[in-house]
Copies of this chain bind each other. A is one copy, B any other.
Amino acid sequence: MATLADVARRAGVSPATASRIISGSTKLVTDELRERVLRAVDELQYVPNAHAQFLARAQRTAVGVIVHDVSDPYFAEITRGLQQVATANGRLVIICNSYRDPSRELEYVELLRAQQVAAIILAGSGYHDPAFTKALTGKLAAYTRTGGRVSVIGRHELPGDAVMPANADGGHLAGVEVFGGGHRKVGVIAGPKVLTTTTDRLAGLRRAAKQYGRTLPPRRIVFADFDRDSGADATRRLLDDAPDLTAIVALNDSMAVGTLSVLRERGIAVPSQMSVVGFDDMPIARDVTPALTTVRLPLTEMGARAMTLALEDRARTPRVEPAAATLVHRESSAPLAT
């Protein structure tokens, strides 16, 4: 690998001059030397060592992002928003997938600190796990203390600037759609119990039930892993235990898709025999049949706002920006036929 010294030698100049020409310093250099150096760069196919550059400059320009899984459309959308703002500000983004493993999340905070990123953004659900939360908060505090910026998306357990999706309100909207439509026996396909996203959405759903004089008994709630196949399994269990349901709310769209596939396989018509409501409004929602009624979150915008918060100067007090949920009515849900 050619180094700056090689280039300088070949061009017959000092490394200092070569560096100035290559990385565009403000210092003036004669055209003749400039040309000699650029020729040497070209001939040697020289590319500066990024790590050495990093060490020598005192900059701190990259931004780290920790998500559960980028290939999940939910996070893909958020990431798109994050990237847009980052790129507009000339920042490089390092993306880390925790695959919903808290310990891996802890490791990635260390890794990003080691990479000297200017900011760390955590996206995705929080965990009901005081020990872990404490450990994570500690690591983030240490980072913040040395000038690092932190912002989070949808994780109210953590301190710092935050963008908060209205998960409870969204749950309420889904609840209004089914209970308001006259459904009494409503099943729920929930996400993992330890995630705050699950409990928040569930809370909103419960509020709607109460408002319509209904309840959400435990036997009509099954917990799955927020993905299609576990959603399908959960749906089978739910239908076996409570065959008299007339509506199912899945707490994300992936699981709702699994629900639809099970209903199709059992010959249960949607929405005439069973209403189905999802959550997130992922792109697939409009392509399944029947198209999915779902609660929409402005994912891309949430990502953009979280990045903006992270790049702005630190405010005196942590800022919290809400992100509203809206119901997108499609064909998978209908009022209860009387």
Contact = CB atoms under 8 A, between A and B. Distances in A.
Interface of A: 1-2, 45, 47-55, 70-71, 73, 76, 79-80, 95, 110-111, 113-116, 139, 142, 145-147, 228, 257, 260-261, 264, 283-284, 286-289
Contacts of A54: 51
Contacts of A257: 287
A261 B330 CA distance: 14
A55 to B, nearest CB: 5
Given A2-B146, A71-B70, A146-B1, A116 B261 contact: no
A70 B72 CA distance: 10
Given A71-B76, A76-B71, A80-B71, A114 B49 contact: yes
A15 to B, nearest CB: 16
A97 to B, nearest CB: 8
Q: Is the interface of A mostly helix, strand, loop or mixed?
A: helix
A47 B110 contact: yes
A160 to B, nearest CB: 17
A45 B142 contact: yes
Contacts of A145: 45
Would you list the 3 A-B pairs with minimal beta carbon distance, nearest first?
A289-B289, A45-B142, A71-B76
A167 to B, nearest CB: 23
Contacts of A2: 146
A245 to B, nearest CB: 21
Nearest to A290: B289
Contact of A287 (B45, B55, B76, B288): B288
Contacts of A50: 111, 114-116
A142 B287 CA distance: 46
Contacts of A261: 286-287
Contacts of A139: 45
Max count, chain B CB within 10 A of own CB: residue among A45, A146, A257, A264: A45
A54 to B, nearest CB: 4
Nearest to A69: B76
A22 to B, nearest CB: 12
